[in-house]
Structure 1
Amino acid sequence: MKRIAVDGLPDDPLAAAGVFHQHWLAHVEDVLGRGEDVMLQIGSADHTHREWRLSIVAGLARKHAPQRINMVAGEGDAVDATETYLARAPGITGQYLET
């Protein structure tokens, strides 16, 4: 599973979704298109970011099946533990998880 650390997103949820689409989406789709499973690591944010994040990861999971993609918000050991779990859980894809 390839971890992609997404950074540089604005605080505003609409702007953050736009920056993700403009600067990250093509790279993520390229990795999935090469047959790799992906875990997106993204910074924690308030509840206003949940919907765009879930929508992106669910859409990518549908489009690139059977490759798996999940998004994990947070930092540190909790993200590492989540990555270990996801690597061993082949049925989990399209999820947005907060640590």
Structure 2
Amino acid sequence: MKTLRIPALSDEPLDAAACFQERWLSQARSCDDDLLLVFSPADHTHRNWRLAAVQELAREAGPRRRVNAVASNNDAAIGEAKDYFAEAPGVTGQYLRLAR
């Protein structure tokens, strides 16, 4: 499973979504393995565009590849989530905000 870390984007959800599409979408689409997108933490206003992005990427990639996403700056929590997704072959299109 590959990891694509998305740095902090705009505080405004629409601007952040536009930036993601402009700068990161093509990299996510071109991944040839299962993919974990790692977003920087953001408030609840970013949840919907992030979830929509990961769900559409999962639809495009399926059934051969899976795409999931987390929001965290904690490397240990990200590693645990990556391990979970690697061992859960039926899980795709999910976005999790990690508490740790």
Calculate percent identity across the aligned residue pairs. 44
Residues 8, 39 of structure 2: 8 Å contact kept: no
When normalised by structure 2's length, the TM-score is 0.92
When normalised by structure 1's length, the TM-score is 0.93
Q: For residue 21 of structure 1, give the secondary structure of its aligned residue in structure 2.
A: helix
**Structure 2: which 5+ runs fail to align?**
none
State whether structure 2 residue 10 is matched by structure 1 residue 10: yes
Residue 67 of structure 2 is aligned with which of 61, 66, 69? 69
Equivalent position amino acid for 1:70 in 2? N
Equivalent position amino acid for 1:91 in 2? G
Equivalent position amino acid for 1:41 in 2? V
In the alignment, the residues of structure 1 paired with residue 60 and residue 27 of structure 2 have an alpha-carbon distance, to the nearest angstrom, of 15
State whether structure 2 residue 45 is matched by structure 1 residue 48: yes
Aligned residues: 96
In the alignment, the residues of structure 1 paired with residue 39 and residue 60 of structure 2 have an alpha-carbon distance, to the nearest angstrom, of 21
**Structure 1: which 5+ runs fail to align?**
none
State whether structure 2 residue 25 is matched by structure 1 residue 25: yes
Instruction: Give the aligned CA root-mean-square deviation in angstroms.
Output: 0.8
Q: For residue 11 of structure 1, give the secondary structure of its aligned residue in structure 2.
A: coil
In the alignment, the residues of structure 2 paired with residue 47 and residue 82 of structure 1 have an alpha-carbon distance, to the nearest angstrom, of 20
Q: For residue 19 of structure 1, give the secondary structure of its aligned residue in structure 2.
A: helix
Query: Moved runs in structure 1, 4+ residues, more than 3 A?
Result: none
